[in-house]
Amino acid sequence: MLVGFAVVALGLFGLLRARVLNLPNYIDPWIYTALFKNWDYMYRVFGDTYYPTRLPYLIPGYFVNQVLSPVPAFYVLHWGYLLLGATFAFLLVRHFYGRVIGAIVYAATLVNVLYYGSHIDDYYDGAVIAYLFVGLYFVLTAREGVRYRVRMAAGGFFLWGAATTNLFA
């Protein structure tokens, strides 16, 4: 069911011809793309700016760009964050309100223009939202027991990722 919602949502964006790649006159997303592809050079050029401080966003982008060429890497990275955030929103809501409400939240998240808009270019907003959903899921669903500390550590890790990815703000 969740996969079906994701396919329908991405299909709708395809039919609407929603912009996915970077705007040519906006420099920030291109700098992140360059950091993904050529870290050594770009770090020397932009090392004293806030761009390289967003490591929780840059590290996955770097590894995806080492395996794939830039256009497929773009889609894998950004749609991965899009689906990761929506999936953990589903899991979080399902935990407290049940499967049906969780599925409604999942579908609503995927087709939300603001959520989709945070994932449409090589910018970090989509990663921050995905990390927040993952972190909140682990922290808010942790219960005392054997896995409590592991879940809290995982939640803290992803909330740290959200905070440090959005460090400049």
Distance CA 52, CA 50 (A): 6
Instruction: Give the chain's end-to-end CA distance (angstroms, integer).
Output: 37
Which pLDDT band holds residue 122 (cuts at 50, 70, 90)? low
Residue 70: closest CA among 109, 23, 22, 4: 22
Sign of the CA dihedral running 135, 138, 139, 140? positive
Cα–Cα distance for residue pair 153/132, rounded to 1 Å: 14
pLDDT of 129 over the 90 cut: yes
Q: Specify the pLDDT at position 16.
A: 61
Rounded distance between C-alpha atoms, residue 110 and residue 17, angstroms: 16
Q: Tell me, what's the pLDDT at 145?
A: 76
Q: What is the value of pTM for the model shown? A: 0.85
CA–CA separation, 87 and 106 (whole Å) = 7
Whether 164 has a pLDDT exceeding 70, the answer reads yes
Can you say how many angstroms the Cα of residue 146 is from the centroid of all Cα atoms in its chain?
Answer: 29
The owner of tokens 């050079």 is 41
User: In the structure, what pLDDT confidence band is assigned to residue 17 with cuts at 50, 70 and 90?
Assistant: low
Residue 19 has pLDDT above 80, yes or no: no
What is the chain's length? 169
The token pair at 54 is 């967003």
**26-30, 75-79, 80-84, 92-96: lowest mean pLDDT where?**
26-30
